[in-house]
């Protein structure tokens, strides 16, 4: 005879999932990351990369490498 399971709420399912992940030796990590669609994001990145290039010889070399291998998609 097949087992019958009680329906579980999303909260209960998530708690069970987190318990399984912790039992597997994993830890939950939530991060706040920059919103690439935010107004001014591209300009802020450009200014920061220019600052790195001005101050750090290795940074300038890294930026030249990145620019040579990546083409930014147009709008």
The whole-angstrom separation of Cα 41 and Cα 50 is 14
Which pTM does this prediction carry? Answer: 0.42
pLDDT of 74 reads 66
Task: Please report which confidence band the pLDDT of residue 52 belongs to, taking 50, 70 and 90 as the band edges.
Answer: confident
Q: Of 26, 27, 44, which is closest to residue 35 (Cα–Cα)?
A: 44
pLDDT of 69 reads 84
Mean pLDDT of 42-52: 88
C-alpha R_g of the chain: 23
Q: Write the pLDDT tens digit of every residue in 6-39.
A: 788 999 999 999 999 999 999 999 999 999 999 9
| Residue 64, both tokens | 């030249």
What CA–CA distances, in Å, run from 37 to 11, 61, 74?
31, 27, 14
């Amino acid at each position: 005879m097949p087992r019958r399971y009680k329906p579980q709420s999303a909260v209960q399912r998530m708690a069970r999932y987190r318990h399984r992940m912790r039992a597997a030796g994993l830890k939950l990590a939530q991060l706040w990351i920059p919103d690439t669609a935010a107004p001014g994001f591209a300009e802020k990145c450009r200014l920061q990369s220019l600052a790195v290039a001005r101050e750090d010889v290795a940074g300038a070399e890294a930026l030249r490498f990145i620019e040579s291998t990546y083409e930014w998609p147009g709008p």
